[in-house]
Every structure is written in structure tokens, then in C-alpha cells.
Amino acid sequence: MDALFGPEDAAAWIAVPGPDDDKYSRGVLGFVTGSARYPGAAVLGVEAALRTGVGMVRYLGAGRPTRLVLQRRPEAVTAPGRVQAWVVGSGHDGGSLDQLTAAALDAALADPVPTVLDAGALERVTRSTGLRVLTPHAGELGRLLDREREEVLADPAGAAREAAERFSAVVLLKGHTSHVADPSGGVLRVQSAPSWTATAGAGDALAGVLGALLATHAHGLAANPGAVAPIAAAAAVVHGLAARRASRGGPFTVLDLCAELPAVIRELLGG
């Protein structure tokens, strides 16, 4: 099955808090992202998650990214504790991680909750124990499959499907059209972002949006793992609509995109 997934489909995957909710019942999202080399990736993921809506963000990383995350978002909690979903790998360099980040990453991968594996964590996919979503761009998916980037671009749906089957994961292959493949062979296509979105850091923000949607649906996911693929597609739609609002036909920064996320969520909910 290969289907187009749009805003009407995405609207069904926005979790709305109720009067009995508190920050824990809404869902806590943990991040092990960013590094001394790429601290900005940590800031962008946390910013995107908080603006998508989540009960709490826990951020675990080295001193420099932690300071920058707190400077931008004092709402983030930097103490370890339970979470309902993880985002790992944005701003990591597969090979070289400081000790604290490496230990936090090991703990996150061993935690059986839904996990977004991005950038530097993609190569650790077989070590993750929960429901997992991989968020590669074409070059990263090529490396995972031992293929050239051009081969992935020639058949993106097929490459995403192959990786989903091989790694028992939902695979969100990013691009102008994003392809979300699940291990049973289904592929959802999302095409909501303008080409101005091709800018460094946009993928780090997408990982944050996706993490927030997973954390706020975590309770239902254990019983319904098939929901992970539409949630991943919904994240791509929300991210793309925020990019469109930020762009209005011109360039924008990733923080501009993040600033539009609350309005996109509101609109999808009919507000």
C-alpha cells in the first residue's frame, strides 16, 4: 500500500490534553542529542518538541549543549528520570561521543519506549529495544543499506520499505516528498514542505516534532504499534505546514519554523 498522507490525516494524531491531565500523564519526552561539535541540534529538537506540545522535556547531554538548551528553554529538565519516548542522535557524530552522552545514549536505547533514531544514532538501530522510528535523509539511508545516495533517490519508497523490513522499524525518509515505511510494507507519502525547508537543522526540528507526538501517544502505542507510522507521517505534515507558514514564499530559519508550530497544531484542531 502506498498512500498520500495530508493535513486531514495528521489532525487525527494530535493528542489534546484533558482536565484530568498533568505534565506526566500528557507524556514526557527525553532527548539525548547534541554534542560539543553540534550543540545547536539539541536546541532545535527541544524547541520543536515544546512548541508541538508535550508534558515535559528531559534533556541529557554534555555541558555545552545543556547550557544552550537551558538558555533557550528553561522549561527543559536536565535531571534523569522516566520518559515515555526518546529522541536520540541529532547532532551526534556516530564515532566520538563524550562519556556522559554515551552513557545516556546507552540507557535510552535500552529503555523499551518508542524511540526516534536520528543522524548519529542511526547506525545503532539494532541496539534499540523499543518501537523505533528512523529519520534518515537519502545519504544516511544509503549508508544504512550500503547503497549510493543516488540509488535511494531513484526509488525512495522501495529503499524506505527495505530498511523498515530489515531493521523492524518505521522509516521516515526525509526529502521534498517524505516517505514513511512500516515493517509490514505500507508506505505513506507526505508533501507539505516548500523547498526552502532544505536548510541545516530542519531535520533536527522534525525529530523534536515526532518525539512530542510519540510521547503524547505513548500509552496507546504498546497496544497499537501500527500507529507509529501514521504518527511519523503526521509529524512530517506538521513540520511541513510550519515550514510553509514560516516561508510564505521565501527563506526562513529553523527557529522561525518552530515558532509556527503552535499555530499549525491549533489549525489542525480546527481552532
Ligand X SMILES: Nc1ncnc2c1ncn2[C@@H]1O[C@H](COP(=O)(O)OP(=O)(O)O)[C@@H](O)[C@H]1O
Ligand Y SMILES: NC(=O)C1=CN([C@@H]2O[C@H](COP(=O)(O)OP(=O)(O)OC[C@H]3O[C@@H](n4cnc5c(N)ncnc54)[C@H](O)[C@@H]3O)[C@@H](O)[C@H]2O)[C@@H](O)CC1
Q: Give contact residues for ligand Y (rule: CB under 6 A).
A: 38, 40-41, 90-92, 119-120, 137, 139-140, 200-201, 203-204
Q: Which residues bind ligand X (CB under 6 A)?
A: 137, 174-176, 178, 193, 195, 197-198, 200-204, 206, 239
Annotated ligand binding at 203? The verdict is yes
Tell me how far, at minimum, the Cβ of 197 lies from ligand Y, in Å. 13
Annotated ligand binding at 98? The verdict is no
Query: In b/e form, how buried is each residue of 68-86, taking b as 16+ CB within 10 angstroms?
Result: bbbebbeebbeeeeebbbb
Annotated ligand binding at 176? The verdict is yes
Annotated ligand binding at 199? The verdict is no
Indicate which of ligand X, ligand Y, none lies near residue 91 (CB less than 5 to 8 Å, by partner kind): ligand Y
C-alpha cell at 267: 489549525
**Separation in Å, CA 216 to CA 23, 97, 203:** 10, 29, 20
Reduce the secondary structure of 128-156 to three states and give it as a string: CCCCEEECCCHHHHHHHHCCCHHHHHHCH
DSSP state of 77: B
Annotated ligand binding at 91? The verdict is yes
Tell me how far, at minimum, the Cβ of 203 lies from ligand Y, in Å. 5
Strand, coil or helix: 86: strand
Closer CB to ligand X, residue 55 or residue 61?
61
Closer CB to ligand X, residue 56 or residue 237?
237
Indicate which of ligand Y, ligand X, none lies near residue 47 (CB less than 5 to 8 Å, by partner kind): none
Closer CB to ligand X, residue 51 or residue 239?
239
Indicate which of ligand X, ligand Y, none lies near residue 128 (CB less than 5 to 8 Å, by partner kind): none
Burial (CB count within 10 angstroms: exposed 0-12, middle 13-18, buried 19+), residue 12: exposed
Sequence letter at residue 126: T
Annotated binding-site residues read: 41, 91, 137, 174-178, 203-204
